[in-house]
Amino acid sequence: MGKIKMMLILLLMVFPFYGQEKEDDKKIIASIIDTYSKSVIVKDSISFYSLFNDKNVTWCAGYKDRTQAKEIEVKGEVKAGSNYFSGSYKGFLRGLFRYKSAEDKFDNIKIVEDGTVASVTMDYSFWVDGKMKNWGSKYLNIIKRDGKWKIVSVIYSLELIEYFKQPTLKERQRK
């Protein structure tokens, strides 16, 4: 009977730490998103670059169908593949220096992780010089490498504000 009690006590001591570790990972991932946003605002390349894996990182976006249709309507015939583009996180940040101010705002954030890999889905709006330019959904894939969470891909959809306004958060959460 003493061995069983001891095993139960040990199990009860270990079990809360497992749950705590999961919560800590979600907090760390949430802080990555916060750092991402803040480093865009202040154009801090050191902080921004530190969030990403130092090997290959996927960075791509696609225009939503209705924005692409409007682009074709406004600009005429558009070549194949023009609804998609890829780049790099470094190119993205470097591109911000042409603006007086820029901000990537996030809401409706959902984090799913298993302690080793994570997926973050969120809605975003991208602002330049105080005006929203585009919005859509953003997906980050993150891996824990050498004990630290690093972004390995950023994929997002894009709606141009000149054609379509971003629905309210309440409207977006109903989908």
pLDDT digits (tens, 9 = 90+) for 116-134: 999 999 999 999 999 999 9
At a CB cut-off of 8 Å and minimum separation 6, what does 59 contact?
86, 87, 88, 89, 91, 92, 153, 154
What is d(CA 26, CA 23) in angstroms, rounded to the nearest whole number?
5
pLDDT above 80: residue 14: no
Highest mean pLDDT among 9-13, 40-44, 69-73: 40-44
pLDDT digits (tens, 9 = 90+) for 71-111: 888 888 766 667 888 999 999 999 999 999 999 999 999 99
Are the C-beta atoms of 103 and 40 separated by less than 8 Å?
Answer: yes
Are the C-beta atoms of 161 and 105 separated by less than 8 Å?
Answer: no
Query: Quick one: pLDDT band at residue 5, thresholds 50, 70, 90?
Result: low
**Domain 2-173 classified CATH 3.40.50.300?**
no
What integer is the mean pLDDT of 25-54?
Answer: 96
pLDDT digits (tens, 9 = 90+) for 136-172: 999 999 999 999 999 999 999 999 999 999 999 999 9
